[in-house]
Amino acid sequence: MTHDLLTTLRPLLAAEASAEAHATGTEPGDLEQAVWLRLLERLAGDGPPSDPPAWLRRAVRAEARRTRRTTRRERPYDGDPADDTDRGPEQLALAAARHRALREAVHRLPGRCSGLLQALLSPRDLTYREIAGELGISQGSLGPERSRCLGCLRRLLAPEVAAREVRG
């Protein structure tokens, strides 16, 4: 049943993802991967949708909206992290401590997340294709996987970066 559903929906998902991907500024494969994950979550929880094609169209549009919102919120980093000309010893020590805490948190991540984020943080500045080759996963799944791993890293770091000032 599940295999038939996936086989039936594959061409529709490819077409819908291709149509929506351009407007979101993402790759169709990334959008497809995110929708497949939503379908698997749905199958594990509530079972198959009553109208799979309609559910799939709604899911593609919902993922496209989520991607657009995420893109709007992300801001490029303007500073040059290698530019230490106006930093004093205290700022350099604090920056080193932050980098150390980040690296330690990345090593504590579960599953493939540790390897993926280490590759993304690598000074070799690897491309997605190179990272996918090193980790043995598809290039299209790197975006959704990266998002999940960054969410996990945020949850892991939240207690460490929470404000430690006295309140009240």
How far is CA 45 from each of CA 39, 59, 148, rounded to the nearest angstrom?
Answer: 10, 16, 19
Distances (CA, A) of 42 to 2, 4, 30: 12, 16, 19
Q: Full-prediction pTM beyond 0.85?
A: no
Contact 58, 16 (CB under 8 A): no
Q: Which residues, other chains included, contact 95 with Cβ-Cβ below 8 Å and sequence gap of 6+?
A: 87
Q: What is the pLDDT of residue 55?
A: 93
In whole angstroms, give the CA distance from residue 57 to residue 59. Answer: 5
Q: How far apart are CA 142 and CA 101, in angstroms?
A: 24
**What parts of the chain have a pLDDT lower than 70?**
1-2, 75-86, 160-168
Which of 66, 38, 30, 28 shows the shortest CA–CA distance to 142? Answer: 30
Alpha carbon distance 113, 65 (integer Å): 25
- Please tell me the predicted confidence (pLDDT) of residue 15: 92
Q: Which residues contact 105 (CB under 8 A, 6 or more apart)?
A: 153, 156, 157, 160
Q: What does the domain layout of the chain look like in residue ranges?
A: 2-72, 100-161
Residue 43: predicted pLDDT = 86
Class of domain 100-161 (CATH, top level): mainly alpha
